[in-house]
Structure 1
Amino acid sequence: MLFNSYEFLFFFLPVTLGVFFALSGYRCLRTAAAWLALVSIFFYGYWSPRYVLLLLASIAVNFAAGHLILRCRGASRMRAAKRVLVLALAANLGALGYFKYANFFVESLNAAAGSQWHLAPIVLPIGISFFTFTQIAFLVDTYQGKVRESRIVPYILFVAYFPHLIAGPVLHHAEMMPQFARAETYRFRLDNFLLGMGFFLIGLFKKVVLADGIQPFVSPVFESDPAYALTLIEAWGGVLAYTLQLYFDFSGYSDMAIGLSKMFNVDLPLNFNSPYKATSIVEFWRRWHMTLSRFLRDYLYIALGGNRHGTLRRYANLMLTMLLGGLWHGAGWTFFVWGGLHGAYLVVNHLWQALRARLGHDLARSTPAGRLCAAALTFLCVALAWVFFRATSFDAALRVLDGMAGVNGVALPVEWQALPWAAALAVPFAPLEAFGGLRQLGWIAVLLLVVWTCPNSQTLMGRLDGLVRARVAAPARRERWGWLSLGGMTACVFLLAAISASHGISEFIYFNF
């Protein structure tokens, strides 16, 4: 079930909200929590009922392991607690490895050894990377004494909570468990509901209008015939289109997840914060998929030693963390290279900062021109790496890179010959199969303008937050203003749902990870 589908918008969400707050109104708070956990499992099973058993088994094993670790810690049996932790981590990584990497491993082995081994096709359970990482963090924190207790219903809700289950964010128990335990969470609040609707509508617009709108210009480049030589304008047009499609697709999902959760009075951690405004790769990773970056830092990079064992070890740890982060996104060597590129970017970034510090430069100071150049360079490096992220093979990625480098020449669409200024250009004209002409250029220009000049969703909703809460708090205005706002937002949902249907309901890109 997709957030932008009719069955979600007009059946699942209204029923879930209605029953949740109806139960809360009768002070059946535990029943309301159980209801939310149950419908979250249903939400997951709507995609494929057979994998509900996998999700439930994962929850049961990890909850039992966490409970056992707590008991061992309580009895001062730390060696036993560590054995339980190791076994539980092995079970989690084993399940993730089988479903996500088994076929990739066999194919790589066949390519290296010339063998002909085959596995039956394995369908990747949706969201397995997210609920596995969420529970790994829970187990490690339990072992380290950061978790004091855990009850089964809040734990199921923590892992399977439907706004995050399919594509993140990667949750941390310390952020979520207290919210599920608060009585205030179960009281309907019009201000939170309207703010949540606002976030959800912004995200829905980003997905069905912006991301899906530019998507048709991506596939002709990345899925072009191997015999077709991509020209410079085609390759750059396709790469920039994908760079923007991925941005608005993931940003839209993140806003929708935050908005949905806000309707239930639960705050999800921020996962996306205008990453293309970053002036360095270090800053980019503080803004892009922020909860995954936090997980990789806290549970992998620091576990490897972080920066505690000298400069070379620090850079090696950075590179290894990003390589594994690349493979987390997908079982393929293209993802490995994408992670390696970002690892190399981070190493160069830290080396550059160290050099500037040694030369006596003030790292906290910069000029507007310097920030602009840094942001442009960061954006180009990120866009270059996205080629491997999107390409289905090395050959496909290299063909796109050849086009970007101008190996196949520079040509303009033959349709432009009729334009008044065409004769003044010393550039040949040719039929470009993988370029959408002025329409594609218009999409790219408008979306780049939005990315670099418009405030992000958090800023927009932050400005509205005080207004909404003040209006809702005023008894004379509350009912009328609240219903008018709700009616307007509902009309927007219908409109955006109609736009989505006209394009065809499309999955979010991060559903595949």
Structure 2
Amino acid sequence: MSQVAVLLTASLVFYLLPNWEHAYIIVSSVLVNFFIARWLLRLPQGTGRWLLTVGVTFNLGVIGYYKYAFFGTQVLNGLLDTQLSFSQHVLPVGISFYTFQQIAFLVDTFRYRNTAYRLKDYALFVTFFPQLIAGPIVHHSQVMPQIEAIHKKPFNWSLFNIGLVWLVVGVFKKIILADNFAKIANPVFNHADKGFALSLADSWSGSLGYTLQLYFDFSAYSEMAIGLAFMFGVKLPLNFFSPYKAPSIVEFWRRWHITLSTFLRDYLYIALGGNRKGKLLKYVNLFITMLLGGLWHGAGWGFIIWGALHGLYLIINHFFRFLGVTRAMPKAVSVAITFFAVVCAWVFFRAVSIEGAFNVLSGMFALSGTEPNKFAQLYHWVFIAIGLFVVFALPNVSQLLNYQGPETADEQISARWSAIQVSRISALLIGLSIGLAIMFMPEPTVFIYFNF
């Protein structure tokens, strides 16, 4: 059995064991998209738009049925005073990621006729277990050549060792940092969602706790995905690059969920017209893109408001750039303003209800009167301070390894690793990280982006 076949089998087992009832969804999605792409490849260049439309409609129909139909029914009932009913389905794991991945694949097939891959290679591209459940949204041009070359390359023990360390760092971030920040944020948001007002200290501890929880949760998954892929000789694109250090919202979206931002830019914003038709339409296109980006994260008003806020942030950012305001602002001030705006938007992303989000924001802006503190403890603030220090003062793993994505040469990564490692200290830190992760492992939890 070839290495591709082994990895494909392992990926399917990984996905299907806990999600066997959704097996037909991902299998049919892979087969339908593959054969539509093959059909397009047989048509003359520039023809077959109707077939592309069929493929994109199929993908959007599947994700719409499972992810948005229930929410859409609720909205229609509220607007039209109807009594439509629709059962809420359990969301198939990873559907948002492999759907967007395959839409990009079909669009590129139509545009460039450059996707003549074998079925097993394509199936592994979609189902590769390190990135399947929560991204990154991998582009075929980045990964397919690596998959096709797997059987030609000898096993690289250096990459395996580096990937293992990267994986351990991700596990540590998830269990020791992200899951413990959740313990600070959850009581605050649960209280707010029940309709209770919050004090200034409680609101800020909850919002900063969630801001750091989401940061370390997504950073952990991104690093675990890259580390696992490294261990099998595949280099995934960067999906997370210290986004809270960004001096602007534009830069934030170049660092946060990088592959989603790239997809939205290349396949939605540019398709809408981008910046080719004047500044007004550019701002409209930005807003629509971010609004749909918010809806991609989940079927709920909180996600829509979060996307709308980031759309407004981007419009303001571009307008200030046009006026030259941002050039005169010190970088530290720009970073602080950007971070504050991001924290405020995360409140809508996290809160279960809109009322809960406004309760948290009211407390943050001291609009809730003199509510007594119920949740914020001194050790919470110490832990938040440590988290902020890690976020703003320390380099990330990709910076330490000078890793820039699939284009980074194996030799460059190995040489960089050899230059920075000190064997005994490295072994001690890795062992300590594993020990702490096991010691403090809470009840089973999932990554936040696993739910999207």
Partner of 2:396: 456
> Judging changes above 3 Å, is the alpha-carbon distance between structure 1 residues 496 and 152 closer, same or farther for their aligned structure 2 residues?
farther
Summarize the alignment of residues 59-208 of structure 1 with structure 2, pairs less than 5 Å apart.
Answer: 59-73=30-44, 76=45, 78-79=46-47, 81-183=48-150, 186-208=153-175
Partner of 1:48: 19
> Judging changes above 3 Å, is the alpha-carbon distance between structure 1 residues 485 and 160 closer, same or farther for their aligned structure 2 residues?
farther
> Judging changes above 3 Å, is the alpha-carbon distance between structure 1 residues 199 and 322 closer, same or farther for their aligned structure 2 residues?
same
> Judging changes above 3 Å, is the alpha-carbon distance between structure 1 residues 345 and 206 closer, same or farther for their aligned structure 2 residues?
same
Cα deviation code 1:342-377 (max 9, x no counterpart)? 000000000000011xxxx8x7x667xx10000000
Summarize the alignment of residues 447-486 of structure 1 with structure 2, pairs less than 5 Å apart.
Answer: 447-462=387-402, 465-466=414-415, 468-469=417-418
> Judging changes above 3 Å, is the alpha-carbon distance between structure 1 residues 102 and 310 closer, same or farther for their aligned structure 2 residues?
same
Partner of 2:28: 57
- Gaps (5+ residues) in structure 2? 404-412
Of residues 291, 295, 303, the one that matches 1:323 is 291
Summarize the alignment of residues 299-314 of structure 1 with structure 2, pairs less than 5 Å apart.
Answer: 299-314=267-282
Deviates more, 1:267-276 or 1:229-238: 229-238
Cα deviation code 1:8-57 (max 9, x no counterpart)? xxxxxxxxxxxxxxxxxxxx5xx210111111111111221011111000
> Judging changes above 3 Å, is the alpha-carbon distance between structure 1 residues 466 and 346 closer, same or farther for their aligned structure 2 residues?
same
Q: Which residue type is aligned with residue 277 of structure 1? A: K
Q: Equivalent residue of 1:210, what SS?
A: helix
The answer on 1:335 being equivalent to 2:303 is: yes
Summarize the alignment of residues 179-328 of structure 1 with structure 2, pairs less than 5 Å apart.
Answer: 179-183=146-150, 186-224=153-191, 226-328=194-296
Q: Which residue type is aligned with residue 274 of structure 2? A: G
Q: Equivalent residue of 2:191, what SS?
A: coil
Which of the pair has more CA radius of gyration? 1
Question: Offset of 1:461 from its aligned partner?
Answer: 3.1
Partner of 2:408: none
In 2, Cα distance between equivalents of 1:304 and 1:259: 36
Question: Offset of 1:406 from its aligned partner?
Answer: 1.0
> Judging changes above 3 Å, is the alpha-carbon distance between structure 1 residues 231 and 494 closer, same or farther for their aligned structure 2 residues?
closer
CA contact (8 A) 1:194 1:485 kept: no
In 2, Cα distance between equivalents of 1:105 and 1:222: 25
- Gaps (5+ residues) in structure 1? 1-27, 412-429, 473-480
Cα deviation code 1:229-261 (max 9, x no counterpart)? 211111111001000000000000000000000
In 1, Cα distance between equivalents of 2:383 and 2:16: 37
CA contact (8 A) 1:277 1:375 kept: yes
CA contact (8 A) 2:168 2:430 kept: no
The answer on 1:34 being equivalent to 2:5 is: yes
Q: Equivalent residue of 1:302, what SS?
A: helix
In 2, Cα distance between equivalents of 1:186 and 1:118: 54
Q: CA RMSD in A?
A: 2.3
| Aligned sequence identity (%) | 45
CA contact (8 A) 1:41 1:160 kept: yes
CA contact (8 A) 1:186 1:264 kept: no
CA contact (8 A) 1:40 1:162 kept: yes
Aligned pairs, how many? 442
CA contact (8 A) 1:277 1:452 kept: yes
In 1, Cα distance between equivalents of 2:85 and 2:135: 32
> Judging changes above 3 Å, is the alpha-carbon distance between structure 1 residues 487 and 221 closer, same or farther for their aligned structure 2 residues?
closer
Question: Offset of 1:490 from its aligned partner?
Answer: 7.6
Partner of 1:443: 383
Q: TM-score, normalised by structure 1?
A: 0.82
In 1, Cα distance between equivalents of 2:307 and 2:416: 43
Q: Which residue type is aligned with residue 340 of structure 2? A: L
> Judging changes above 3 Å, is the alpha-carbon distance between structure 1 residues 299 and 236 closer, same or farther for their aligned structure 2 residues?
same
In 2, Cα distance between equivalents of 1:316 and 1:165: 32
> Judging changes above 3 Å, is the alpha-carbon distance between structure 1 residues 143 and 100 closer, same or farther for their aligned structure 2 residues?
same
Q: TM-score, normalised by structure 2?
A: 0.93
> Judging changes above 3 Å, is the alpha-carbon distance between structure 1 residues 163 and 496 closer, same or farther for their aligned structure 2 residues?
farther
CA contact (8 A) 1:281 1:378 kept: yes
Summarize the alignment of residues 362-511 of structure 1 with structure 2, pairs less than 5 Å apart.
Answer: 370-410=330-370, 430=372, 432-433=373-374, 435-462=375-402, 465-466=414-415, 468-469=417-418, 491=431, 494-499=434-439, 501=441, 503-511=442-450
CA contact (8 A) 1:285 1:293 kept: yes
In 1, Cα distance between equivalents of 2:151 and 2:11: 21
